[in-house]
């Protein structure tokens, strides 16, 4: 990867992270740290094990609350906007289709 490609990738990641952060209402830092721990750990078999990752600087209770409060409540006045921001951030991680057709199977 060239320096320019690396810089572009880092910039795209920072935009993605910022969009995700803006879409979260509660426990923003907890969720971001959880994602960083998840991204850097290939050995964990549970979220409890992720809480032991050095990138996750909080305790297990914070981890549980972060997961529990990840989505905004439907009574939130900005509910639709927050959901749209989350979906937008998540959809950027899905690679584009490599083929220009869809393949369906019928049983």
Between 90 and 27, where is the model more confident? 27
Residue 50, domain member (yes or no): yes
pLDDT of residue 57: 92
Tens digit of pLDDT for each residue in 98-107? 767 666 666 5
Structural domain of 9:
3-91
Residue 69, domain member (yes or no): yes
Instruction: Please give the Cα distance from 105 to 43 (Å, whole number).
Output: 35
Tens digit of pLDDT for each residue in 49-70? 888 888 889 988 888 898 888 8
Please tell me the total count of domains within the chain.
1
pLDDT of residue 19: 81
Distances from the Cα of 63 to the Cα of 18, 56, 60, 77, angstroms: 20, 9, 5, 25
Instruction: Please give the Cα distance from 27 to 22 (Å, whole number).
Output: 11
Range 65-83 average pLDDT: 87
Residue 97, domain member (yes or no): no
């Amino acid at each position: 990867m060239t320096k320019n490609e690396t810089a572009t990738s880092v910039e795209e990641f920072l935009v993605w992270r910022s969009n995700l952060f803006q879409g979260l209402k509660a426990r923003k830092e907890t969720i971001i740290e959880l994602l960083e721990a998840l991204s850097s750990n290939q050995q964990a078999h549970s979220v409890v094990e992720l809480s032991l990752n050095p990138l996750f600087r909080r305790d297990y209770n914070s981890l549980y609350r972060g997961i529990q409060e990840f989505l905004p409540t439907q009574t939130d006045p900005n509910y639709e906007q927050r959901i749209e921001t989350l979906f937008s951030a998540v959809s950027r991680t899905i690679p584009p289709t490599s083929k220009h057709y869809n393949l369906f199977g019928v049983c």
